[in-house]
Chain A
């Protein structure tokens, strides 16, 4: 317990508090709000804050609009090809948003496929990928599955009798949806939206790739990397980001608590079978939505095989050279990714299981505090954690390492571990909750000691949950960019996400960057597939954190 506290304090709490302290103190270490006043006095920052709020909100609204009809169709109807549709709906999750940004630019950007066609036929272009609109578009296409999965879970958690009772009372059709279904699913829906909002404002890669800097996350990044570690404004931006995330997280928690009341589940709502013309309509609707959301995948795949692709509809020459580049000339990106993410996932499983065990099976004082600290990373944007690490660990030699922690790849593993810890804690907690204490007690009364009971009863029953939590950590770490680009000590120590970022900086490297993107997509797909295997039908629950 003390050990856990030490780890969580050193790598979560302290770095964040340090950031907070710098933002709140002056040169003589007195508490002051002057930096915040300065922040709000500068039009640049006011605009960044405003842009962040607006884009986050727009992403949530558009994602919600995309998700609601899809979720209702998936949760309530049976039809031919539904599984295919469900799979397609989770595909946007496997493409890192900053990779998607590049691909979308090739298709929808100023000189992308669509605008070239428009230019040719109508002599006009649509600047859909420019500025904030581009960020909102890319993020919406990437994040809407989070809301979708949340909404499907909320919808299928409503006890069937709730709606049947209303029908029995004479209510049906859209009225039934408005008076019963919608209010019952709303808390879950809102919670999902808030969590998506956190992810959207946390996203550093998309605005960087689209070269749109006037948001909070890129501002914090630019301040620290260009102006320097001692620039107070960077820290203030970080604190504002944390406050936004924290408020959203707390609100999401409250709504999830409210959502619980609707889930006294006895029987899931009946799904109705669709046939004939209706199936066609459903396919048309879903196809339209999903077709657009799969554009980035197509773009990135084309780009990865292209030698030259600019100002033309499709690549002009194809090559396998990009894959040769990343597999043979610079294989370290893939190797590093596997090393870092698997290590981090392993550590997360151990830490998550230990914390969950303390929470559920011990009466130790302070376990709830432990839980709170372990949950905190959900509300700490990657940029902020990275800034905190740089501030805390830069400039002094870490014992046993002979160098500062920030000059070693270990810092990346630590960052990934801490960022994804909440997932394994939740997953282990949920898994352990399923193991009723009486199952352990009966083993003990039959003569098994504590250790044996854990090894023979508890562990086999929670393994699935632990692995699933670890897999989610693995999947999300694979494509983590925000903390990565700030913490990578040297280019050859960078993982895939860093490689993509570097390659994408030059027009000639884009092909190789895209090839790395394809590798990232494959890794994430594999992880997601395995998660579904372990979680089974409850995979949607994994995203309800």
Chain B
């Protein structure tokens, strides 16, 4: 079956006075791996359930391949859904679980047998078909849930935090498996997660959600490198945020005086929103974009400030420092620390970052 495209047009859903989803407009293209990312309670799961048909929106239209779906019941939509808790039926064997959807579709017995076995092989579960779900490990249960959905060849795959019940190592392995499987099948996939790393790693595009609204939509890189607002900057990865006022603006280059009286040079990459001098502005610098050195080295022509190490946490592939500087704390990551001297608590250090690494999050 050809993968579907999904259009969400001004979707809204409220429970009583409370809008759980409001004014959501998204276009998910054929074969895309699209993620709804946000903290718990942001409405991402509700949105997924609206697409699956378990929740009917109060406002707006859901359409699949151009057909409005608002009042089509779940059992007529032919979209596959994998639940966070897998929802494997305990009274059925693995085979019966996977065969369920095919039986509902009145597929011939021999065909069911063939397709179930083929799909079980695809997710590396051959030999478990006669076991009960309770006899499987968490990772295996996860794959049964996936197989059960894939075997009906849905036109759309919906995944509700499918990896969140697995332990950390398995989660990362499954992430790669899922990525390969989805790219091989070319299946339009909508993925719901609160894990920003997972979202960045898997998705072709991401919609970041907060309080029922989509606050930014874009490719993984765009979301991380060009956060559109304070919420995205803080939620996706870590950010050092500086608010202040523009002193001078020369084309893309601006000079900002922050509220803690630091002067920061930034080069805005979004020409549409060229800041003017006097504008209030919010800047973001990622911790890995900040470099720290001993004081007294060469002064670079970019942003450089001195501060004290307040805490250092060695993490193997990088060292996380918290630096106390101009009355506030900033976070920095010193990557690949092997063989280098580490700074200790109390050391005086110079914090340096390039104007290109400063992102203008918001200017009014």
Of B52, B53, B87, the most chain A CB neighbours within 10 A belong to B87
Report the nearest B residue to A169, measured CB to CB.
Answer: B101
Residues 74-103 of B, flagged 1 when their CB comes within 8 A of A and 0 if not, give 111111110111010111000000001100
- The answer to whether A167 touches B73, judged by C-beta atoms less than 8 angstroms apart, is yes
Bound-state Cα–Cα, A150 to B64, Å: 42
CB nearest to A172 among chain B residues: B75
The complex places the Cα of A166 from the Cα of B80 at a distance, in Å, of 11
Q: Indicate whether B54 reaches chain A with its CB closer than 8 angstroms.
A: yes
| Best-buried of A162, A170, A172, A266 by chain B (most CB within 10 Å) | A170
Nearest Cβ in chain A — how far from B307, in angstroms?
Answer: 38
Q: What is the CA–CA distance of A172 and B75 in the complex, to the nearest angstrom? A: 7
Nearest neighbor of A183 in chain B, beta-carbon distance: B91
A183 to B91 Cα, complex, angstroms: 7
Chain B residues positioned under 8 Å from A183 (CB to CB): 89, 91
**How many angstroms between the C-alpha atoms of A183 and B96 in the bound complex?**
14
On chain A, the residues within 8 Å of B85 by CB distance are: 159, 161, 264, 266
Q: Among residues 112 to 169 in chain A, which have CB atoms less than 8 Å away from a CB atom of chain B?
A: 159, 161-162, 164-169
Contact yes or no, A167 B87, CB < 8 A: no
- A170 pairs with B105, CB closer than 8 A: yes
Residues of B within 8 A of A172 (CB): 73-75
Known: A159-B87, A168-B80, A171-B100. A261 touches B134 (CB 8 A): yes
Q: Give bound CA distance, A167 to B73, whole Å.
A: 9
Contact of A170 among B83, B87, B89, B101 (CB under 8 A): B101
**Assembled-state Cα–Cα distance A53/B91 (Å):** 30
Q: In the complex the two chains form, is A164's CB within 8 Å of B87's CB?
A: yes
A166 / chain B contacts, CB cutoff of 8 Å: 89, 100
B136 nearest CB across to chain A (Å) = 13
Q: Which residues of B contact A162 (CB under 8 A)?
A: 87, 89
Query: Which of A159, A165, A264 has the most chain B CB atoms closer than 10 A to its own CB?
Result: A165
B152 CB within 8 Å of chain A: yes
Interface residue? B17 (CB, 8 A): no
Q: Which residues A248-283 have CB closer than 8 A to chain B?
A: 261-262, 264, 266
Residue of B nearest to A168 (CB): B81
A-chain residues with CB within 8 Å of residue B76 when the two chains form the complex = 170
Within 8 A of A (CB), among B122-173: 134, 148, 152
Q: Are B79 and A261 closer than 8 Å at their CB atoms? A: no
CB-defined interface of A161-192 with B at 8 Å, one 1/0 digit per residue?
Answer: 11011111111100000011001100000000
Q: How far is the CA of A179 from the CA of B104 in the complex (A)?
A: 11
Interface centre among B53, B73, B104, by most A CB within 10 Å? B104
Contact present for B75 and A167 (CB under 8 Å):
yes
What CA separation (Å) do A164 and B79 show in the bound complex? 12
With A and B bound together, what is the CA distance between A323 and B77 in angstroms?
66
Report the minimal beta-carbon distance from A264 to chain B, rounded to whole angstroms. 7
Least distance between B56 CB and chain A CB atoms (Å): 12
Cβ–Cβ contact B75 & A170, under 8 A: yes
Q: Which of B33-81 contact A (CB under 8 A)?
A: 52-54, 73-81
Interface size of B in residues (CB-CB distance below 8 Å): 26
- Contact B100–A169 (Cβ < 8 Å): yes
From A161, which residue of chain B is reached at the shortest CB distance? Answer: B87
| Distance to closest chain A CB from B350 (angstroms) | 45
Q: How far is the CA of A180 from the CA of B87 in the complex (A)?
A: 11
CB contacts (< 8 Å) of A261 on chain B: these are 90, 134
Residues of A within 8 A of B104 (CB): 169-171
**In the bound complex, how far is the Cα of B85 from the Cα of A262, in angstroms?**
13
How many whole Å from A155's CB to the nearest CB in chain B?
Answer: 15
* Option from B52, B84, B105 in Cβ contact (under 8 Å) with A168: B52
User: Which among B78, B81, B134 has the greatest number of chain A C-beta atoms within 10 A?
Assistant: B81
Query: What A residues does B78 contact at CB under 8 A?
Result: 170
Minimum CB distance partner of A176 in chain B: B75
Give A354 to B228 CA distance when docked, in angstroms. Answer: 61
Chain B residue contacts of A266, Cβ below 8 A: 84-85
Identify which of residues 236-254 in chain B touch chain A, using a CB-to-CB cut-off of 8 Å: none
A residues near B79, Cβ cutoff 8 Å? 168
A170 to B81, CA, bound (A): 12
Report how far A164 CA is from B53 CA in the complex, Å: 10
Smallest CB gap from A187: residue in B: B91
- Among A165, A179, A262, the residue within 8 A (CB) of B81 is A165
Q: How far is the CA of A183 from the CA of B100 in the complex (A)?
A: 14
Is B100 touching A262 in the complex (CB atoms < 8 A)?
A: no
**Residues of chain A lying within 8 A (CB to CB) of residue B75:** 167-172
Contacts of A170 in B (CB 8 A): 75-76, 78, 101, 104-105, 152
Given contacts A164-B74, A169-B104, A170-B101, contact A180 B89 (CB under 8 A): yes
User: Residues of B contacting A167 with CB < 8 Å?
Assistant: 53-54, 73-75
B249 CB, min distance to chain A CBs, angstroms: 52
- Chain A residues with Cβ under 8 A from B73's Cβ? 167, 172
Distance of A486 from chain B, by nearest CB (Å):
45
Min CB distance B84 to A, Å, is 8
Residue numbers in A under 8 Å from B91 (CB-CB):
183-184, 262
Q: Measured between alpha carbons, how far is A403 from B125 in the docked complex, in Å?
A: 73
* Contact assessment for A161 and B74 in the assembled complex, using a CB-CB cutoff below 8 Å: no
Q: How far is the CA of A146 from the CA of B85 in the complex (A)?
A: 31
Taking A161-B87, A162-B89, A169-B148 as given, write out 5 further A-B residue pairs in contact, using a Cβ cutoff of 8 Å, ordered by the A residue number. A159-B87, A168-B53, A169-B101, A183-B91, A184-B91
Residues of B that sit less than 8 Å from A by CB: 52-54, 73-81, 83-85, 87, 89-91, 100-101, 104-105, 134, 148, 152
Rank and list the top 7 A-B pairs by shortest CB-CB distance, nearest first: A161-B87, A169-B101, A170-B104, A165-B87, A167-B74, A161-B83, A183-B91
Could you show 9 A-B contacts with beta carbons less than 8 Å apart? A165-B83, A170-B78, A170-B152, A179-B100, A180-B89, A183-B91, A184-B89, A184-B91, A262-B90
